[in-house]
A and B are shown apart, each in its own frame.
Chain A
């Protein structure tokens, strides 16, 4: 008698829903155990977390503020993954989008008519990230460089580059050396919906719809999906794999770049310390939680943002150490990722020897 895993041929909506719910329950149970160990009532803790993330208008807005860069970077990463491209570089693409947007906001306002400044800032954010995303694609095509390595490494280059700018070259000239650029002119500020929530989240929703349309309703989208499932058959089918690789990385980077644009033009109104705080890495979690589908990524971004904002309550209301929130977040995400196993494989208890089972089937 032994346990075996059998690959599933596919799964229904119910299996998907049950697996995700099951994973969340296991994660919450695991978290509850940890909370019990430190002597905290887990039900109360979870209630506080939920209230902290979604319990009031303020809380919901805070969660959406955090969800907005996660949504954009998550969409970028998931689009690339659909083409089987591992873009670990969303952090760098976010930063370069922020850099390009900041450059336009700071230096183009002198000659660009005021109503054109904001569109130029937004476009620059996209192009900055897109071009940064294109580099690993070109490296892969012309040098055979693995994109996991190149996208990861380019993150550090991007972060150091913008640090050089706000510590040195672009530092506010009236700032007596304090790090950070000057504040952008108001015409370059991204309009806000409420509180700190800017229209970047609407970009996220529109882009989610566009990606869905691209993947499901266009020829290129079909090619991207084929390429993602099997690069070899895509090549045999005459699909221009290289062109699609460049296109996907351009779009993926550009979408992450919009997240960086949102952070500088929508929130801080200057480029300063705190631009690269890891959204581009969390994006991978968001993309996988969302099962790489645009609607899924929307839900996952709000969920991960809510988890992160809500778990602050563990410290604020229950006086647990800040690191406890991180442990809980990690546990929840790990369980959900592990739940993936049950989607792709069926667990079976074998009582008969394998040879007999094969005959029986």
Chain B
């Protein structure tokens, strides 16, 4: 009986607190971010959440509720930012949650992972008064001209920088833990290998001797597979491991043995991997903050946004000052500046590589001096530059050819 009474009084107390906190708000704008997993994943979702939190800069945070928060803007509007985590990868689940978010009054909805693409583009047709964005999608699902935009970050620019740093330090053999052999990660692998070769050339080593060995784990993040792949590469004799999975477990595994080197990816890994040189990081806030501002201002327009260092959407973090001398860090910064200024494009010729033909034969691919891969060439990249080894990505469809564009004249 005593116990019941205690519980009862607790119920009454908390009930009254619960009712007290519900306050009606008039002028609100609601933005919803849908996440596949949890921001506590130290990877992809953590990176998105870092960007989402930057939206707080637009005003004063008046309420925080778990992952979600409300921001009071100068003009009196309350910006509600709703963050929904752990939605998963099932199409029907994603659509249901997105629909509930819209029914809950969302004015603007972001789908932040590949698998949400179909649901977001379907709902954009169904709800013309709601704005939609999809990140990291298929290259041929493009914006419409009313309420649906796509966005992505040119992470491969920073993959190139990561490779360049490793090259400058003289590391020529690198094991790489890759995710899916689809264009986005393939671009990243190639960017890293090209950077590695240019770094080696700069210190007088023969870039042709470098080797980047890829293992694809067929998952964006999977602790067990990441550890397995890293272990397999270390067993093969690699001492330098390039992480490209969304979570840091391959780097962590690498650093468990003294003398190994890891190169982090996505979200700063230095906290869990003390042998990491640095991490090339997503900076989604560079997109989220201005987009939300534009929606509030009524200047929002549809587009297919694809930017990198130039838009400050990428960063290098977690520099390991013991392993990377200051002059190397400075060179990396100079490289970043020239990429940001549009003076340097990692995907300009001469580049040679190999890939599969639709018939399954290995064919040579050549980007001559003075020519560069077009955006579409990069979005459909299914071949390796020389110096990368591993299972080939799937062949492009029949009749596929590189477009190539001329390099910007000096």
Please list the residues of chain A having a beta carbon within 8 angstroms of any beta carbon in chain B.
Answer: 32-33, 36, 39-44, 52, 56, 58-59, 62, 65-66, 163, 167-168, 171, 173-179, 196, 263, 267-268, 272-274, 277, 309, 312-313, 315-317, 319-323
Contact = CB atoms under 8 A, between A and B. Distances in A.
Contact residues of A: prevailing secondary structure: helix
B10 A36 contact: yes
Given A58-B99, A274-B89, A168 B18 contact: no
29 contacts: A36-B10, A40-B14, A40-B18, A41-B19, A44-B18, A56-B103, A58-B99, A62-B100, A65-B96, A66-B92, A163-B218, A171-B394, A173-B358, A173-B398, A176-B139, A176-B182, A177-B180, A177-B393, A178-B138, A196-B95, A272-B91, A273-B89, A315-B85, A316-B84, A317-B104, A319-B67, A321-B67, A322-B38, A323-B86
B93 interface: yes
A46 to B, nearest CB: 13
Nearest to A268: B91
Nearest to B13: A36
Interface residues of B, number: 49
Contacts of B396: 176
Contact of A316 (B95, B101, B118, B138): B101
Nearest to A176: B380
B190 interface: no
A276 B270 CA distance: 35
A179 B180 contact: yes
The interface centre, meaning the residue of A56, A263, A322 with most chain B CB atoms within 10 A of its CB, is: A322
A277 B84 CA distance: 19
Nearest to B95: A196
Nearest to B11: A36
Nearest to B86: A322
A274 B181 CA distance: 19
B394 A277 contact: no
A66 B14 CA distance: 33
Given A177-B181, A277-B89, 12 more contacts: A40-B14, A41-B14, A65-B92, A173-B397, A179-B182, A315-B66, A316-B84, A316-B101, A319-B66, A321-B38, A322-B84, A322-B85
Contacts of B397: 173-174, 176
B66 A312 contact: no
Nearest to B216: A167
Nearest to B92: A267
A267 B92 CA distance: 7
A176 B382 contact: yes
Contacts of B23: none
Contacts of A33: 7
B77 interface: no
Contacts of B15: 41, 43
B104 to A, nearest CB: 6
A321 to B, nearest CB: 6
A163 B393 CA distance: 16
A98 to B, nearest CB: 12
Nearest to A40: B18
B115 interface: yes
Top 4 A-B pairs ranked by shortest CB distance?
Answer: A41-B18, A322-B86, A319-B65, A319-B66
Contacts of A173: 358, 397-398
Contacts of A59: 100
A65 B91 CA distance: 12
B296 interface: no
Contacts of B99: 58, 62
Interface in B354-400: 358, 380, 382, 393-394, 396-398
B84 A315 contact: yes
Contact of A319 (B17, B68, B180, B218): B68
B92 A39 contact: no
A270 to B, nearest CB: 9
B3 to A, nearest CB: 11
A316 B97 contact: yes
A229 to B, nearest CB: 38
Nearest to A323: B86
A36 B14 contact: yes
Given A274-B115, A316-B101, A320-B66, A168 B89 contact: no
A44 B115 CA distance: 33
A52 B100 contact: yes
Contacts of A312: 96-97, 100
Interface string B1-42: 000000100110011011100000000000000000010000
Contacts of A316: 82, 84, 97, 100-101, 104
Contacts of B358: 173
B90 interface: yes
Contacts of A179: 180, 182
B265 to A, nearest CB: 20
A43 B16 CA distance: 12
B360 to A, nearest CB: 12
A263 B89 CA distance: 13
Nearest to A69: B92
A275 B14 CA distance: 41
Contacts of B382: 176-177
B88 interface: yes
B203 to A, nearest CB: 35
Contact of A277 (B10, B93, B96): B93
Contacts of B393: 177
B103 A58 contact: yes
